[in-house]
Amino acid sequence: MRRRLLEAEGFDPGDVVEFHREGSLMARFFFVQDPDGYKIEVLERHGRYQ
């Protein structure tokens, strides 16, 4: 994921969370905070949500 790139730029991304439904991975995501304090969700889609 792009998490490592954000860390290299000095950001502090949150933990990666995986969303499963009926035993299948549907999405993987984390949040990062911008310099103004807004939280941004970074989403990697899987399954039918591609």
Quote the domain boundaries for residue 8: 3-49
The structure's pTM equals: 0.73
Q: What is the pLDDT of residue 32?
A: 93
pLDDT in tens, the chain (50 residues): 577 888 898 889 999 999 888 888 888 899 999 889 999 999 887 766 66
Tell me what pLDDT residue 3 has. Answer: 79
Q: Is the sign of the CA dihedral 15, 39, 11, 47 positive or negative? A: positive
Number of domains observed in the structure of the chain = 1
Contacts of 47 (CB under 8 A, 6+ apart): 21, 24, 25, 26, 27
- Whole-angstrom distance, CA of residue 32 vs CA of residue 25: 22
For residue 45, the model assigns a pLDDT of 73
